Amino acid sequence: FHTLGNGTLLEAVVLPEDEDPNEWLAANTVDFFNELTLLYGLCSADIEAKNLGPGEGFPKNIVYYWDNAEDEAPGSNKLYKDLSGPEYVELVFTWVENLIENPTVFPTDEEADWPEDFKEGYVQKMFRRMFRVFAIIY
């Protein structure tokens, strides 16, 4: 087991031997999400006070959009336009939490199969959106 204090960052993120890659990605995705929600909770009042509307916040003049149609959820044909940073964060957190709690995406049964596109279709998209939250926090 490596921590950043006793090894390099590259060593800390290597898939352990004999570990299922999807299981490892799932555990780290959930951990990252939990840490991100805790961090956002610590500074959300400051962020909400600074981001009064679309285009205000970080990066300057950036307007966030959310297209539910790309998430392929039933009845999700609504495009949210001109979101403030905090509105975008709320959508990201709700979306990620719903995916984590969905057993067809994050199986809870050891015998269940992972989605074929778990890494490319879910995990990468989740991290892309969660990293935008870091930009908003900044």
Local mean pLDDT, 10-residue blocks, the chain (138 residues): 60 80 94 94 74 60 71 56 80 94 94 94 94 84
pLDDT at 42: 86
Alpha-carbon gap, residue 137 to 51, rounded angstroms: 10
Three-state DSSP at 80 gives: strand
Query: What's the pLDDT at 54?
Result: 61
Do 75 and 112 form a contact (C-beta atoms < 8 A)? no
* Partners of 79 in the β-ladder: 67
pLDDT value of residue 102: 95
Q: What is the β-pairing status of strands 64-67 and 79-83?
A: antiparallel
Whether cis (ω within 30° of 0) applies to the bond prior to 16 is: no
Q: Characterise 53 by phi-psi region: left (phi > 0), alpha (psi -120 to 50), beta (else).
A: beta
Structure tokens at 96: 């990620």
CB 123 within 8 A of CB 115: no
Q: Is the pTM of this model over 0.85?
A: no
